[in-house]
Amino acid sequence: MPDHVSQPRLLLRRLHSVMAGSGRPQDRLDRVVRVIAQNMVAEVCSIYLSRAGGILELFATEGLKEEAVHQTRLRVGEGLVGLVAERGLPLNLSEAPQHPRFVYRPETGEDIYHSFLGVPILRTGKVVGVLVVQNVAPRRYKPEEVEALQTISMVIAELVGSGTLVDKDELSEDTATTGEPVTLDGMSLAGGVGAGVAVFHQPQVKITRTVADDVDTERLRLEEAIAEMRLQLEQLIEHPDLAHGGEHREVLETYRMFAYDQGWQEKMRDAVQSGLTAEAAVDRVQQENRARMYKIRDPYLRERVSDFEDLATRLIRIIQGDDSDYRTKLSEDSVLVARNIGPAELMEYDKQYLRAIVLEEGSATSHVTIIARAMGVPVLGRVQGLLTHVEAGEWVIVDTGNEHVYIRPADDVVETYKATLELQERLYAEYAAERDLPAETMDGHKITLFMNAGLLVDLPSLDNTGAEGIGLFRTEFQFMVSPALPRVDEQTKIYNAALDAAGDRPVVFRTLDIGGDKPVPFLPRDEEENPAMGWRAIRIALDRPALLRYQLRALLYAAEGRTLHVMFPMIAEVAELRRCKAILQKEIERLKKHDRTPPKEVKVGCMLEVPSLSWQLDLLLKEIDFLSIGTNDLMQFFFACDRGNPRLANRYDLLAPPVLAFLHMIIRACDNAGVPVTLCGEMGGRPIEAMALVALGLRRISISPTSVGPVKRMLRSINLKQLQDFLLSNITSPEHSIRDSLVNFARDHNIKV
Ligand code: PEP
Ligand code: MG
């Protein structure tokens, strides 16, 4: 067994004494690479460190040609070393020259080495260099060897940070910050605009000591910190904000479970046993978790690794005793910047100054996204290169509308956004003041505005916006955040809360629309070529009827004595709907057998999201109490145009004549049959589109809570008769879209769009 595996402690001590010893920094660095090469049984060991401008420079090597030192430079992302720096993850290859990112630098003479193992040198989450070993013979390094090299890289990071190994002026920890304005793209996870100074989420966790003096002491420090961390989590769960339960409390409870994870603790204990300090051990194991996470494709599981990240940070802080800084005090408008952030950590920031969150990772299903929505803070995720482009204290503007983050924005951009923000705030205040006014046109036509919801945190918006009910309750949201299939009683609780909050107002529950872009953790699926048209929504429900039966049961229990509105998603043919209704009927009958109070009445609806169904409208409308048009899906199938494909994003317009003619036909059919029809896609939330829809005869729209104010204001400024004449005369236009004509009409008639 190689020395490093049997005697890791000895190696760490040896390295530490070399690094802390006397002599020129360069001599010490040269000795370090020699010791590592010997211990790793490697022919090459090299250290690359970051310089300003995103450059990685070869600072020391054992095995490569000496003249390459301080000559060989690679950009972050260039070559294998650049790839390690870019990803911040280890790279283990048995045939390095065959890797597509391999670049050959003749001055190094490295072409004879086949195997390559590179690990990032990380300081406070940022890559400050890369440590590499290479061998002539092709082989894959064993997991213990990868771990050993990661451990060594931590010791090097400590010395780099302290400035004793290399003069700090020679280095740049922030590889790509240039002072120039930068705009990066991301993905909107929670909507809104926010601006403030960049606050790095983990500035305090700098590990200053990596090598243990005494293993027993470190073991004790680790155990005590684990106990303290659990205590803190218990207290957090009792937080008054969570007193009423709901998703965010459940999130934290799942999260608390991780704090008791035995595997995690064992790994940290092993790391202490290998000679690291308690804090370095926690960080080491976290680096491993991160590397594993990179390979996981399942978004839900990836998010759970970020929960561990949160716990690890917390643990390190406890170990290092920096309780005083525990909660980052924000004192001015701030934008939180992080690779990722855990749900509990987010709750510890002062909401008062938190204007936005921007993340390198994150996803719509992440726990932190749910908490952020509950806090009303916009989140932009998936921003590549974020951490290398922004410095703490710099001005940052986040706009989830156009999915951009502006770093060090030019003055004109700042001014524009200040104005936008002010306007937004003024408008919000005005909408709030108009909350109780009816959504009625100037010529007296009443339009019903419902809101869309999916989580308990959305419910207060019912009263705040003055919406007349919930036109679409997306029940799958609860399933997406739950690690296991929610039990009937858990589901009942949520549905009951929604009905309670709504009082006399209707709540339309849509049965599970999982699959597609809404994965759930408990139902593994095969990779699908085209998930939007795949095994999703009602297709899953009919293939797994128990899932649907339990959900319907929970809905019926929740509605006892009240009216239940239930609708089914992605119905493609009447026969499918009838199968759903039969299952519902059985559940209603089951109530009687079990002596449960049934709902006062059950109203059954159907979503129109698949175009085929519109050729069975006559039949369909006899089967249902209401119809809901889901334009988000309907329109992507109508135009055969993937709504997630950025190249097609502006290809077709929803104000195109064929769309309007199609919707007009559906609305008329519903009116003739006396079946109420609502539109619940995003389209209805944009005033100009909503204006076209009411002109087509639509009288019920269900939209996101933030759209209620602007749409109502538009409605109150139109003369419907005049608008209708205009729109219907344009519906046969051969143009690509009638948007421009509508905008002009609105301007000419003082319509507030
Ligand atoms: C729709 O498709 O329009 C809809 C409302 O459903 P979702 O956005 O949840 O797919
Ligand atoms: Mg849909």
pLDDT, tens digit, for every residue of 317-359?
889 886 544 456 788 899 999 887 876 677 778 778 999 999 9
The residue from 420, 435, 460 where one domain ends is 420
The amino acid occupying position 93 is L
Ligand nearest to the CA of 570: 2
How large is the average pLDDT for residues 511-530? Answer: 77
Contact by Cβ (8 Å): 403, 179: no
| Cα–Cα distance measured from residue 338 to residue 358, given in angstroms and rounded to the nearest whole number | 7
For residues 298, 302, 305, 310, the Cα torsion angle rounded to the nearest 10 degrees is: -150
The residue from 319, 350, 380 where one domain ends is 319
pLDDT at position 166 over 70: no
User: Within this chain, do residues 395 and 470 fall inside the same structural domain, yes or no?
Assistant: no
User: Within this chain, do residues 193 and 222 fall inside the same structural domain, yes or no?
Assistant: no
325: phi then psi, degrees, rounded to nearest 5: -95, 10
Q: Within a 10 A sphere around the Cβ of 437, how many other Cβ atoms?
A: 11
Cα atoms in the Cβ-side hemisphere of radius 13 Å centred on 545: 10
pLDDT at position 7 over 70: no
| Cα–Cα distance measured from residue 296 to residue 303, given in angstroms and rounded to the nearest whole number | 10
* CA nearest neighbour of 459 among 476, 447, 473: 473
Q: Given the CA of residue 513, which atom of ligand 1 is nearest to it?
A: 9
Closest-CA residue, ligand 1 atom 6, reads 630
Mean of the per-residue pLDDT values of the chain:
86
Grade residue 174 by pLDDT with cuts at 50, 70 and 90.
very low
How large is the average pLDDT for residues 182-190? Answer: 88
Closest-CA residue, ligand 1 atom 1, reads 630
Distance 644 CA to ligand 1 centre (A): 13
Secondary structure of residue 420 in the 3-state scheme: helix
Distance 222 CA to ligand 1 centre (A): 48
| Cα–Cα distance measured from residue 132 to residue 119, given in angstroms and rounded to the nearest whole number | 6
DSSP run (H or E) holding 709 = helix 705-715
User: Within this chain, do residues 489 and 406 fall inside the same structural domain, yes or no?
Assistant: no
User: Within this chain, do residues 114 and 196 fall inside the same structural domain, yes or no?
Assistant: no
**For the domain that residue 146 is a member of, what is the CATH number?**
3.30.450.40
User: Within this chain, do residues 522 and 619 fall inside the same structural domain, yes or no?
Assistant: yes
Residue 187 located in a structural domain: yes
Closest-CA residue, ligand 1 atom 7, reads 632
- CA dihedral sign, ordered 399, 400, 406, 410: negative
Contact by Cβ (8 Å): 687, 479: no
Residue 660 located in a structural domain: yes
Ligand nearest to the CA of 517: 1
Distance 474 CA to ligand 2 centre (A): 10
Query: What lines the ligand 1 site, CB under 6 Å?
Result: 472, 474, 513, 609, 630-633, 680-681
Q: Note the pTM of the prediction, 2 decimals.
A: 0.62
**For the domain that residue 283 is a member of, what is the CATH number?**
1.10.274.10
Q: Given the CA of residue 472, which atom of ligand 1 is nearest to it?
A: 5
CA 561 to mean position of chain CA atoms: 39
Ligand nearest to the CA of 477: 1
Grade residue 4 by pLDDT with cuts at 50, 70 and 90.
very low
| Cα–Cα distance measured from residue 164 to residue 168, given in angstroms and rounded to the nearest whole number | 8
**Residue-level pLDDT at 327:** 53
- For the chain, state the CA radius of gyration: 30
Residue 715 located in a structural domain: no
pLDDT at position 124 over 80: no
Q: Given the CA of residue 681, which atom of ligand 1 is nearest to it?
A: 3
Q: Please write the tens of the pLDDT for every residue from 205-261.
A: 677 788 888 999 999 999 999 998 888 878 777 765 554 555 566 666 766 777 788
For 186-251, what is the HEC assignment?
A: CEEEECCEEEEEEEECCCCCCCCCCECCCHHHHHHHHHHHHHHHHHHHHHHHCCHHHCCCCHHHHH
Ligand nearest to the CA of 630: 1
Cα atoms in the Cβ-side hemisphere of radius 13 Å centred on 601: 4
425: phi then psi, degrees, rounded to nearest 5: -65, -40
**Residue-level pLDDT at 200:** 85
**For the domain that residue 345 is a member of, what is the CATH number?**
3.50.30.10
Q: Within a 10 A sphere around the Cβ of 581, how many other Cβ atoms?
A: 16
Q: Please write the tens of the pLDDT for every residue from 420-477.
A: 778 778 888 899 999 999 999 999 999 999 998 887 777 888 998 999 999 999 898 7
51: phi then psi, degrees, rounded to nearest 5: -115, 170
pLDDT at position 586 over 60: yes
Distance 27 CA to ligand 2 centre (A): 64
Distance 633 CA to ligand 2 centre (A): 5
**For the domain that residue 697 is a member of, what is the CATH number?**
3.20.20.60
Residue 151 located in a structural domain: yes
Which residue in the block uniquely carries the two structure tokens 């302290």? Answer: 162
Distance 368 CA to ligand 1 centre (A): 23
How many residues in total does the chain contain?
753
Pocket test residue of 570, 634, 680, 689 for ligand 1, highest count of atoms within 8 A of CB:
680
| Cα–Cα distance measured from residue 447 to residue 437, given in angstroms and rounded to the nearest whole number | 12
* CA nearest neighbour of 130 among 70, 166, 88, 97: 88
Residue 326 located in a structural domain: no
Distance 636 CA to ligand 2 centre (A): 10
DSSP run (H or E) holding 84 = helix 79-87
Pocket test residue of 632, 634, 638, 642 for ligand 1, highest count of atoms within 8 A of CB:
632
Distance 462 CA to ligand 2 centre (A): 22
How large is the average pLDDT for residues 645-663? Answer: 86
User: Within this chain, do residues 54 and 115 fall inside the same structural domain, yes or no?
Assistant: yes
For residues 183, 184, 186, 191, the Cα torsion angle rounded to the nearest 10 degrees is: -20
| Cα–Cα distance measured from residue 366 to residue 345, given in angstroms and rounded to the nearest whole number | 14
Grade residue 622 by pLDDT with cuts at 50, 70 and 90.
very high
Write out the residue range of the structural domain in which residue 226 sits: 215-319
| Cα–Cα distance measured from residue 171 to residue 230, given in angstroms and rounded to the nearest whole number | 39
367 catalytically annotated: yes
User: Within this chain, do residues 197 and 219 fall inside the same structural domain, yes or no?
Assistant: no
Distance 425 CA to ligand 2 centre (A): 31
Ligand nearest to the CA of 681: 1
99-104-108 Cα angle (round to 5) = 130
Long-range contacts of 490-496, Cβ-Cβ distance < 8 Å, separation of 24 or more: 491/550, 491/551, 491/554, 491/555, 491/558, 492/554, 492/557, 492/558, 493/245, 493/558, 494/456, 495/554, 495/555, 495/558, 495/559, 496/557, 496/558
* CA nearest neighbour of 691 among 708, 709, 714: 714
The residue from 319, 352, 382 where one domain ends is 319
What does the DSSP 8-state code read for residue 116? Answer: E
Q: How many domains does the chain have?
A: 4
Closest-CA residue, ligand 1 atom 3, reads 630
User: Within this chain, do residues 163 and 262 fall inside the same structural domain, yes or no?
Assistant: no
What does the DSSP 8-state code read for residue 486? Answer: P
Q: Please write the tens of the pLDDT for every residue from 14-43.
A: 887 777 777 787 888 898 899 999 988 999
680 catalytically annotated: yes
Grade residue 204 by pLDDT with cuts at 50, 70 and 90.
very low
Which residue in the block uniquely carries the two structure tokens 């802080």? Answer: 317
Q: Given the CA of residue 452, which atom of ligand 1 is nearest to it?
A: 5
Candidates 45, 580, 670, 680; catalytic one: 680
User: Within this chain, do residues 342 and 460 fall inside the same structural domain, yes or no?
Assistant: no
Beta bridge partners of 93: 116
Pocket test residue of 470, 475, 606, 609 for ligand 1, highest count of atoms within 8 A of CB:
609
Q: Given the CA of residue 630, which atom of ligand 1 is nearest to it?
A: 3
Ligand nearest to the CA of 476: 1
Pocket test residue of 610, 633, 638 for ligand 1, highest count of atoms within 8 A of CB:
633
User: Within this chain, do residues 145 and 187 fall inside the same structural domain, yes or no?
Assistant: no
Q: Given the CA of residue 631, which atom of ligand 1 is nearest to it?
A: 3
User: Within this chain, do residues 407 and 542 fall inside the same structural domain, yes or no?
Assistant: no
Q: Which two tokens stand for residue 340?
A: 């990722």
Distance 634 CA to ligand 1 centre (A): 8
Candidates 201, 367, 404, 664; catalytic one: 367
Residue 722 located in a structural domain: no
* CA nearest neighbour of 121 among 153, 148, 97: 153
Q: Within a 10 A sphere around the Cβ of 661, how many other Cβ atoms?
A: 12
Q: Given the CA of residue 682, which atom of ligand 1 is nearest to it?
A: 3
Residue 716 located in a structural domain: no
674-548-528 Cα angle (round to 5) = 100
User: Within this chain, do residues 13 and 150 fall inside the same structural domain, yes or no?
Assistant: yes
Pocket test residue of 452, 470, 474 for ligand 1, highest count of atoms within 8 A of CB:
474
Q: Which two tokens stand for residue 749?
A: 């008639």
The end-to-end CA distance of the chain, in Å, is 73
Contact by Cβ (8 Å): 83, 102: no
Residue 727 located in a structural domain: no
Higher pLDDT, 426 or 554: 554
Grade residue 5 by pLDDT with cuts at 50, 70 and 90.
very low
The amino acid occupying position 123 is R
**Reduced to 3 DSSP states, what percent helix, strand and coil does the chain have, rounded to the nearest 5?**
50, 15, 35
Q: Please write the tens of the pLDDT for every residue from 255-290.
A: 677 778 888 888 899 999 988 999 999 988 887 777
Share of the chain above pLDDT 90, in %: 50
683-482-313 Cα angle (round to 5) = 105
Distance 613 CA to ligand 2 centre (A): 14
Output the DSSP codes for 130-159: EEEEEESS--PPPHHHHHHHHHHHHHHHHH
